[in-house]
Amino acid sequence: MKHRKLGDDGPEVSAIGLGCMGMSVAYGVPDEEESQHTLDRALEMGITLLDTADAYGRGSNEELVGRWLRRHSGERDRVVVATKFGLRHDAATGRVGDVDTSADYVPHACRASLRRLGVDHIDLYYAHRRNPAVPIEETVGAMSELVQAGLVRHLGLSEVSPATLRKAHAVHPITAVQVEYSLFTRNVVEGELLTTCRELGISVVAYSPLGRGMLTGALSSRGDLASNDNRRRWPRFADENIQRNLALVQAVRDVAQRIGCSPAQAALAWLLAQGDDIVPIPGTKRRRYLQENAAAVTLDLTDADLDQLRKAVPEAAVAGERYPDTALKRLGH
């Protein structure tokens, strides 16, 4: 496994990390046993960045990762545990309601995550989203107190604007910005946000680097999604959009076949080639997909390969927003 450094002051991590959300929620039926085996295999392969959040399964994903960490307590220093706070669930609907990034809530959320994970510190602690009514200086100021207390090692933000990032970084160094970035979603990162990150020495941790599974080539229709799969609510998987998007995936598959790899590997290798400061965190609960994804670090794409992959997915051709309307309102503040 190859490695990359997170930010100017952050830890060294595997070039590809592991998103753990799908082990508990969102993508079909959870499988605890296979998830634990997948985490075991990740450690064996040298995948060291594990990503979770208190919002994933209302804490259940942190608890799952925590059970794994307890089994590997002697190897705690080999992994970088990243988690996030700020999305609070509505008691009536069970879905995310408010975004709470107030200074009073920050230490409460952190201590709850520490308990669920069963660790004495969090390596990388993100604000999951930003409440625009709360000054980012207030949020990051409270997060920096966690660093001073030894409860957190490094700070991150997720889905914020370049202006917010600059204000935050002036309060305390930001190590990483987590944001959706893939062949399907490029304009969010490419441009001012990436320029700002590079100016300030901040890494980009790319979530959903496979377009929520679309770019794996495993889907042939919306009918392949389980009835409880959250992607049924996502615009790009809607009846009116999915076939247009799957046609783009076929174009990626065509390029991948010429290269001699899977569509997922081509998509991840394309991301890795965008800069040493970009770390994708594809999510999976299955060992076979973990191993397939990790093999992307061995690919050495030519400039022609990269250009063909980019042209295979013109951004204007991607059908549907990347989030439902309610979630879109929480982005980019």
- Active-site residue list: 56
Angle at 56 between CA 53 and CA 57, to 5 degrees: 140
- As a whole number of angstroms, the distance between CA 68 and CA 39 comes to 7
Number of helical (H) and strand (E) elements in the chain, helices listed first: 11, 12
Q: Which of 318, 274, 316, 314 is nearest to 296 (CA)?
A: 274
DSSP letter for each residue of 108-136: HHHHHHHHHHT-S-EEEEEESS--TTS-H
Helices (H), 11-79: 32-45, 60-71
Helices (H), the chain: 32-45, 60-71, 105-117, 136-148, 162-171, 192-200, 242-259, 263-272, 287-294, 303-312, 325-328
